[in-house]
């Protein structure tokens, strides 16, 4: 045990998935309204030392997926189906108190908006020491220097002063770093990052991303990266899942996916973003319509009304997810 902890080497990165999500579905039910399926049969694996991306636009179900895995969805008004097995334990069936123990210790999560995930009336230092006390059984006295060390290592300048500061006294980038420090406090084996840099400026984003990359490379932590930014994905993720309307529509290693996008949605996303490295002046090719135009998946492809190359079968039959190795595609009429 001590061996693996002191020598965090790539050898630790096994082939066995650390987290294995199978057929995850989340349906929200409200009185007087049609049930809404936000996540619809999502499956993916994450191995130690691997970064897996979940990419998509607002409403594609990427955040609900992570909340369901973390057991953070409200207890009423929704149905979660499928399994999320973490080293053989199905997180979705775990009693609340056992899940609470795992959260923070084995699995940590960082959110998009650091201000709303920090307690505004507790100093940053205390929030970090609390994690150490709760999950590592440290005394407050023992935890304090460790908390200071953590803040220092995630690049917060003047950590002694910052320990006493309250969240509102920190800048957005520093708050996000404080959250990462809290997430790191227990050396989690799985880290779920939900749009961790979306609220930040690019230079700060670069700092945070390099911190995450370092974490994955040095400690073999498995990272699930949830983002809408294809640029972030291109630099960070080993494997990318593209979500649309609650389902995975395409999957591949980052090199494959970006070099050879087969789903019209993935292709459309790449064509619609202005790029720093491309020629300037060519008009962008947007994806027409918006997510409001989606068809239900039952008897069609949800993306068909916005698709650049729909065929008749697209509005008559649900396309299955065809998998071969890492690559997967859900489309009746793929690009090329």
Per rule CB under 8 A, is residue 98 in the interface with other proteins?
no
Per-residue CA distances from 91 to 182, 241, 314 (Å) = 21, 21, 35
Closest by Cα among 329, 173, 159, 171 to 256: 329
Q: Within 148-167, which residues bind other proteins (CB under 8 A)? A: 149-150, 152-155, 157
Length of the chain in terms of residues written:
336
Q: Which stretch binds other proteins (CB under 8 A): 23-31, 121-129, 280-288, 320-328?
A: 280-288
Question: 253: helix, coil or strand?
Answer: strand
Q: Is 138 left (phi over 0), alpha (psi -120 to 50) or beta?
A: beta
Give me the sign of the Cα torsion angle 156, 157, 159, 164.
Answer: negative
Per rule CB under 8 A, is residue 285 in the interface with other proteins?
yes
- The site string for other proteins over 5-34 (x = CB under 8 A, - otherwise) reads xxxx--------------------------
Per rule CB under 8 A, is residue 133 in the interface with other proteins?
no
Tell me 17's DSSP state.
-
Per rule CB under 8 A, is residue 309 in the interface with other proteins?
no
CA pair distance 279, 76, nearest whole angstrom:
51
Q: Within 55-84, which residues bind other proteins (CB under 8 A)? A: 57-58
CA pair distance 91, 124, nearest whole angstrom:
29
Q: Which stretch binds other proteins (CB under 8 A): 26-34, 72-80, 90-98, 252-260?
A: 252-260
CA pair distance 248, 328, nearest whole angstrom:
9
CA pair distance 63, 225, nearest whole angstrom:
10
Nearer to other proteins, 34 or 277 (CB): 277
Which residue of 31, 75, 141, 280 would you call a contact of other proteins, by CB under 8 A? Answer: 280
Tell me which H or E stretch contains 107: strand 107-110
Nearer to other proteins, 21 or 248 (CB): 248
Per rule CB under 8 A, is residue 234 in the interface with other proteins?
yes
Q: Which stretch binds other proteins (CB under 8 A): 35-43, 83-91, 96-104, 228-236?
A: 228-236
Q: Within 185-204, which residues bind other proteins (CB under 8 A)? A: 187, 201-204
Q: Which stretch binds other proteins (CB under 8 A): 25-33, 116-124, 225-233, 311-319?
A: 225-233
Per rule CB under 8 A, is residue 296 in the interface with other proteins?
no
Q: Within 100-129, which residues bind other proteins (CB under 8 A)? A: none
CA pair distance 278, 281, nearest whole angstrom:
10
Nearer to other proteins, 20 or 103 (CB): 103
Q: Within 260-279, which residues bind other proteins (CB under 8 A)? A: 268-270, 272-277
């Amino acid at each position: 045990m001590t061996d693996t902890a002191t020598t965090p080497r790539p050898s630790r990165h096994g082939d066995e998935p650390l987290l294995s999500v199978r057929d995850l579905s989340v349906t929200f039910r409200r009185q007087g309204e049609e049930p809404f399926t936000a996540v619809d049969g999502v499956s993916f694996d994450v191995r130690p030392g691997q970064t897996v991306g979940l990419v998509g636009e607002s409403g594609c179900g990427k955040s609900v997926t992570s909340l369901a895995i973390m057991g953070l969805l409200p207890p009423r008004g929704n149905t979660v189906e499928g399994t999320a097995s973490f080293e053989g334990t199905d997180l979705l069936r775990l009693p609340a108190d056992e899940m609470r123990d795992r959260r923070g210790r084995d699995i940590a999560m960082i959110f998009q908006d650091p201000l709303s995930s920090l307690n505004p009336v507790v100093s940053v230092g205390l929030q970090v020491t609390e994690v150490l006390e709760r999950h590592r059984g440290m005394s407050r006295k023992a935890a304090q220097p460790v908390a200071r060390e953590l803040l220092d290592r995630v690049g917060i300048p003047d950590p002694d002063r910052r320990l006493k500061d309250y969240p509102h006294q920190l800048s957005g980038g520093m708050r996000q770093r404080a959250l990462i420090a809290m997430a790191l406090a227990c050396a989690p084996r799985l880290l779920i990052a939900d749009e961790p840099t979306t609220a930040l400026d690019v230079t700060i984003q670069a700092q945070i991303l390099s911190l995450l990359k370092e974490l994955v490379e040095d400690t073999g932590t498995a990272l699930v990266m949830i983002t809408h930014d294809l640029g972030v994905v291109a630099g960070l993720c080993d494997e990318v899942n593209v979500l649309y309307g609650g389902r995975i529509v395409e999957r591949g290693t980052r090199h494959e996916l970006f070099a050879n996008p087969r789903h019209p949605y993935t292709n459309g996303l790449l064509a619609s973003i202005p790029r720093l490295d491309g020629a300037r002046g060519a008009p962008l090719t947007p994806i027409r319509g918006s997510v409001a135009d989606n068809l239900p998946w039952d008897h069609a492809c949800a993306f068909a009304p916005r698709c650049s190359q729909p065929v008749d079968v697209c509005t008559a039959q649900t396309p299955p997810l065809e998998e071969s190795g890492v690559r997967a595609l859900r489309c009746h009429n793929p690009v090329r």
